[in-house]
Structure 1
Amino acid sequence: MEPLGTLTLCLAFGLSCLLFLALRHRKPGNENLPPGLFPLPIVGNLLQLKTSKLPQNLHVLSEKYGPVFTLYFGAERVVVLYGYDAVKEALIDRGDEFAARGSLPIVDKLTKGQGIIFSNGERWKQIRRFALTILRNFGMGKKSIEERIQEEAQCLMESFRDTHGIPFDPTFLLSCAPANVICAIVFGKRYEYIDNRFLALRTLTNNNFQLSSSIWGQLYNFFPSVMEYIPGPHHRLMENHLLQMAFASEEIKEHRATMDPSTPRDFIDCFLIKMDEEIHNEASVFSTDNLAYATLDLFEAGTETTSTTLRYGLLILLKYPEIQEKVRKEIDQEISRTRRPCMADHGRMPYTDAVIHEIQRFISFIPINVPHAVLKDTPFRQYIIPKGTTIYPVLNSVLHDSKEFPNPEEFDPWHFLHKDGTFRKSNYFMPFSAGKRICVGEGLARMELFLFLTTILQNFTLKPLTHPKDIDITPRLSFFLNYPPSYKFCAIPR
C-alpha cells in the first residue's frame, strides 16, 4: 500500500475511534455516571487494568476516583464499589436494589439463568428460599450434618495415613472430602474416593473452574460474541457442562424411581416432591431443568470454595509452623488427641477460630465478588447508576482494609483476637459476600473448615519440603478467583 493510503487509513481509523467514544459518552444515562478511566474502543479499560494485578490496580483507581467508579470490561460498563462503607451500603443497607445477579457471559451460556447462583427475579427468590430451607432441614448447622462431616474427616485422615509420610499434593484429597459432604446432602450418599463416577464429576467440576478462570475464560467474558467463533479450550466448558448435566439427570431419574414422598432422603427428593405439589401451576419455577442446575450449583459451590480454602490454609500453616503449633496446642488442650473434634469445641478455641478466619480473610478467594446488577436507574451517593449496569462490590477491599486489619497483606491471626486472647468479631469479615446474595452454604462451609482443619492437625504434623521462609503463599490470581500455588508436603502422624 502507498504511504499516503496508509496514512489515510490510520486517520480514518483514529477518527472512527474518537467518534465511537464521543457517541458512547453521550448515551442517555451516562451524564451522571461515577468517574473512571477513559475507555478504548472494543477493549474498554482492559489494557489499562492488567488483570493479573487487578486488586492492586483497583486500589490505585479508588484512591484517584473514590469508592465508586466506572470501568469498561470490553464493551460492558461496570460500576465498582470499593471499601467497606460503599460495599455495606449497597449489599446490606440497600440490599433489595443491588440484589440482582450481574452478567457473566461464560456462566450465562452454561446456566441459561437457571439454578441458584446466577438466576434472577422470582425464580431466584423461590429456589434460593427452598434451598436454604432444605439445607437447614437436613442439618446445616445441626448435629446430623456435623456427624457426616466428622465421618468424612476420618476418611480423609485414612487417606492421609496412606501417604506414609511421603510427600504428596493435597489437592485431590481436600476436594474429595467436602465434595462428599455436599453429595450426602444433595444425592443422599457418599462415594469412595476411587469411585469412577465420583472421580469423573470431580474432574469435570475442577476442569470447568480452571477453564472459566483461565485467560480463555476471561476473554470469553469480555468478548463473548467473538470468542464463540475462535477455537480454544474455552469450548470444552460446554462439553464438560453437558456431562455434568447428564450426571445430575441420571441421579434425578434414579431418585424419581425410588422416592418415598413420606420420607425424603435428600435435596433431590425434596425438590421432586415440591415439583409434584406444583404440577398444575404453570408459572412454577420448580422444574426438572431447574433441579439439575440447582443440584450442580450446590455441588460446585459446596466443593470448590471449601477445598481451596483448606488447601490454601495448609500451605499457610506450612509457612508458619509456630502458628500450626499453637493451633495444635489448643486442640490438645480442649479436645485431646483421641476424641473427635465437634462444633461444641468451637467456642472454647479462640486461637483456632482466629486462624480459620484469617485464612479466609487473607486469601480473599473471590476478590472482586460475583457480579451484581441494578434493574433500574439507581441513585447511589451523588451518582446515577443506569439500569442494567453490572456492579462489582469488591470483597478484597473489605477483607484487606488497613484500618480494620493492620498490615492486611500479612497473615496474622491477631486480626481476629483481642489483647486478652478472646475472639474478636469483625463486620468487615465478608468472604461469603453479604446481604441478599450471601452464600447459601455459609453455615456448612464454616462447619467443614473447623472440623476438617482441627481433625488434620489433631492427627498430623505438617512438614514442608523446603524451609518455611522460602514458601510462597502469594495467590495465583485469575481475575475472579484466588488460588494457592501448587505444593507438596509430608503428613507425619503424631
Structure 2
Amino acid sequence: MDAVILGVLILLLSCFLYTKWGKMYQKRNLPPGPTPLPLVGNIFHMKRGEMVKSFLEFSQKYGPVYTLYFGSNPVIVLCGYQAVKEALVDQGEDFGGRGKLPTIDQYMKGQGVTFSNGETWRQLRRFSLSTLRNFGMGKKSIEERIQEEVGYLVSELRSYKEKPVDPHHILVQSVSNVICSIVFGNRFEFDDACFRDLLGMFAATFKDMSSSWGQLQDMLPNIMNHVPGPHLRINKHLDNLSKFIEERVKRNQETLDPDSPRDYIDCFLIKIQKEKQNPTNSFDMTNLVMTVLSLFFAGTETISTTLRHAFLILIHYPQIQAKLSEEIRRVIGENRSPNIEDRSKMPYTEAVIHEIQRFIDVIPMNVPHLVTRDTTFRGYNIPKGTDVYPILYSVHRDPEQFATPLKFNPGHFLDEDGSFKKNEAFMPFSIGKRICLGEGLARMELFLFLTSILQNFTLTSPMKFTDDDIAPKMCGFANFPIPYQLSFIPR
C-alpha cells in the first residue's frame, strides 16, 4: 500500500513539474509548439528517422510557424511559402545568419563560406561570387568546362553498349569533375581510384548526416557526441577530405603565378597575399580549405542526386522523356552540343527541370538559419541567436502555390500557351541572403547534362517503377532516389 501511495505522489509531482515547465516556456512569447521535456526537449515527439515528416505533422497542429526544442535550445520552424518568404526575404537581414548543424559544426567551426557568419561570411561570399562569375575559371569558361565533361560522360555511357547499369557512380564522378576543374584546374579520369575514394567519402558524409543517428546528433549534440554510433564517423570523413584539399593547396602554392591564376585555389591564395596586412580580413588557409570543402558539397552530391532522380522520373514517364527529346531535336538538332543560350528557347525542358527540383527536394529542410538580432515575427519575440529551420519541402508542397503538389507535373511551370512560367515558391537553392552561391553553376549543369544525354540516348530500364518509387524519401538532411538500373540506348 505504501508503494502505491508513493507511486501516486511521484506521478502527481511529475505532472505538476511538467505543467510548471510548460508554463515557464510559454512566458517567452515564442511561437507555439509541443511542451519540451527537461534536457531532451521535444526529441520524443519526433518520429525516429523521419525528421521532415515530423516537422510537417507539427505544422498541421501548431500552424506554419512553431517552436521545437532540441535539448534546451529553441528552434523556430517555418512551413509553407508565405512564412518562409516573410522570414528569409521580407525580414532577410534578421534571419540571414547560419544556424547550427551539429553533425558537421564540430569540424567546420563556423569557417568557410557556407558555415560562417558576420563579416567573415560577407567577405568570403563576395569573393566567391566574384571569382565564379568573372574569372571564368582560367582560359575556359565555366560553360565550356561543363560541355567538355559532358562529352567525356557521353563517351563513357556509349561504352556500356546498352547494358543496364546503376548510374550513381558515373554521374557523381562526372558532376564532381566540373567542380574539380573549377577549383583545382583539372578533371580526374573515371577509373582514378583516389578520385573514387574521395567521392565515396562525400557520399558517406551525406548518408551519415541523413541517418537516424545524424538526426539525433542534430537534436541532442551534447549527448550524442558521447554516444558511439555511425554519426561519429562524419568528422573522420571530413578530415580525410580536408587533407586531400590541403595537398592540392600545397601543390598550387609551389607553382603559383600571381599574374596568371589557374583556378579558384590560385585566386584565393592571391587574395591571402593581398589582404595579409589587413587586420580585419578573413582570408587564411583554414577558410580556404573549408570554403573549397563547402563548394564540393554543394557541387557534387546535390547535382548528381538530382540527375539520378531525373532519370528515374523520365523512365517512369516515357511520354515526358519523348516530349523532351522532341524539343531537343527541334531546337538543338543532332549535329552540335547544347549550349546555355538554348535554354531560353526550350520552355518545356526548362519546366521539366524545375519540376524535377521541386518534386525531389534534395535538401528538404534547407541548411539551418540563425536570427542575427532580437526580432519580432508574426507577433512573436524571437531572440538573437535562435536557430531557424525553413522547411523547403513544405514550400514545394504548398497547395496554394502548386496545383498538384504531391504529383510530378511540369505544368506547374508552364502557362496556357506552353511558355515557361516562373513560380516564386520555387526555391531549391533556398532564398534570400543565404541563397546558394552556386545556383547559376548548378542550373547550367542540370540543363547541359540533361539535354546532352537525351540528345544522344533514350533511357530505358528492365525494372518497373511506381509513383511511390519515384517520390522523394523524406528522412533527414538529404533525399536520395531508390537504387535502380537503366540502359542508355544510342539514338
Q: State the 1:62 CA deviation.
A: 2.7
Query: Residues 95 and 143 (structure 1 numbering): CA distance in 2 closer, same or farther, change over 3 Å?
Result: farther
Instruction: Judge conservation of contact 2:469–2:482 (CA < 8 Å) in 1.
Output: yes
Answer yes or no: is 1:87 the counterpart of 2:84. yes
Does residue 295 of the first structure (1) align with residue 295 of the second (2)? Answer: no
Answer whether contact 1:52 1:477 (CA < 8 A) is retained: no
Cα deviations by residue, 1:372-407 (Å, 9 ceiling, x for unpaired):
111332111111112221111121122111122111
**2:481 aligned partner:** 484
Which AA in structure 1 matches 2:341? Answer: A
| CA 486–4 in structure 1, closer or farther in 2 if over 3 Å, else same | farther
3-state SS in 1 of match to 2:376: strand
Q: Does 1:285 align with 2:277?
A: no
Mapped to 1, the partners of 2:97 and 2:5 lie a distance apart of 47
Q: Name the CA shift for 1:230/1:337 in 2 (closer, same or farther; >3 Å).
A: same
Report if the CA contact (8 A) 1:302-1:445 is conserved: yes
Equivalent residue in structure 2 for 1:202, among 190, 195, 199: 199
State how far apart, in whole Å, the 1-side matches of 2:4 and 2:155 are. Answer: 70
| Total equivalences in the alignment | 490
Tell whether the 8 Å contact from 1:367 to 1:480 is kept in structure 2 after alignment. yes
Deviation, 1:51, is 5.3
Over residues 423-459 of structure 1, what are the superposed CA-to-partner deviations in whole Å (9 max), with x where a residue is unaligned?
Answer: 1111111110001000010000000000000011111
- 1:19-418 equivalences in 2 (<5 Å): 19=17, 22-23=20-21, 25-26=23-24, 30-50=27-47, 52-139=49-136, 144-418=141-415
Alpha-carbon distance between aligned partners in 2 of 1:24 and 1:300, rounded to the nearest angstrom: 40
Residue 491 of structure 1 and its aligned partner are, at CA, apart by 1.1
Q: Is the contact between residue 67 and residue 77 of structure 2 (CA under 8 Å) also seen in structure 1?
A: yes
Specify every segment of 5 or more residues in structure 1 that has no aligned partner in the other structure, as ranges: none
Report the Cα distance in structure 2 between the residues aligned to 1:433 and 1:446, rounded to whole angstroms.
14
Structure 2 length-normalised TM: 0.95
Partner amino acid, structure 2, of 1:166: K
Displacement after TM superposition at 1:23 (Å): 4.3
Matches for 1:441-456 after TM superposition, within 5 Å: 441-456=438-453
Contact 1:21 1:40 in 2 (8 A): no
CA distance in 1, matches of 2:119, 2:303: 29
Partners of 1:470 and 1:422 lie apart in 2 by 27
Q: CA RMSD in A?
A: 2.2
CA offsets per residue over residues 202-251 of structure 1, 9 Å max, x none? 11111111111111111211222222222222222111111111111111
Secondary structure class of the residue paired with 2:470:
coil
Distance 1:268 1:416 in 2: 38
- Deviations 1:20-48 (CA, angstroms, capped at 9, x unpaired): 66346526x94311111222344332332
Query: 1:407-446, aligned counterparts within 5 Å?
Result: 407-446=404-443
The question of whether the paired residues in 2 share the 8 Å contact of 1:134 and 1:270 is answered with yes
Give the secondary-structure state (helix, strand or coil) at the position aligned to 2:113.
Answer: coil
8 Å Cα contact 2:172-2:304 kept in structure 1: yes
When structure 1 is superposed on structure 2, of 151-160 and 224-233 the one drifting more is 224-233
Contact 2:22/2:35 (8 A) holds in 1:
no
**Displacement after TM superposition at 1:18 (Å):** 5.0
Q: For residues 170 and 246 of structure 1, what CA distance do their matches in structure 2 show?
A: 28
- Larger mean Cα displacement after TM superposition, 66-75 or 183-192: 66-75
Identity of aligned residues (%): 51
Distance 1:471 1:13 in 2: 45
Contact map agreement 1:319 1:468 (CA 8 A) in 2: yes
CA contact (8 A) 1:319 1:471 kept: no
- Please give the alpha-carbon distance, in whole angstroms, between the structure 1 residues aligned to 2:23 and 2:384: 16
Cα displacement string for residues 256-288 of structure 1 (whole angstroms, at most 9, x for unaligned residues): 110000011111111111111122233321111
SS in 2 for 1:81: strand
Counterpart-to-counterpart distance in 2, 1:14 and 1:449: 60
SS at match of 1:450: helix
Counterpart code for 1:120: N
Separation (CA, whole Å) in 2 of partners of 1:111 and 1:6: 52
In the alignment, structure 2 segments of 5+ residues that lack a partner are none
Query: 2:304 is aligned with what amino acid?
Result: S
Decide whether the 8 Å contact of 1:160 with 1:491 is kept in 2.
Answer: yes
Structure 1 counterpart SS, 2:246: helix
Distance 1:471 1:120 in 2: 39
Q: Name 2:13's counterpart in structure 1.
A: 15
* Residue pairs, 1:448-467, within 5 angstroms: 448-467=445-464
Change (3 A) 1:364 1:341: same
When residues 218 and 63 of structure 1 are mapped into structure 2, their CA distance, relative to the original with a 3 A threshold, is closer
Matched position secondary structure for 2:233: helix
User: C-alpha deviations, 1:331-352, integer Å up to 9, x for none?
Assistant: 1111112210111111111101
Using the alignment, how far apart are the partners of 1:382 and 1:401 within structure 2? 23
- Evaluate the alpha carbon distance shift between residue 179 and residue 271 of structure 1 in structure 2; reply closer, same or farther with a 3 A threshold: same
Aligned AA (1:460) = F
Q: C-alpha separation between the residues in 2 aligned to 1:133 and 1:14?
A: 63
Offset, 1:180: 0.6
Paired residue type of 2:385? G
Change (3 A) 1:40 1:7: farther
Shift of 1:59: 3.6
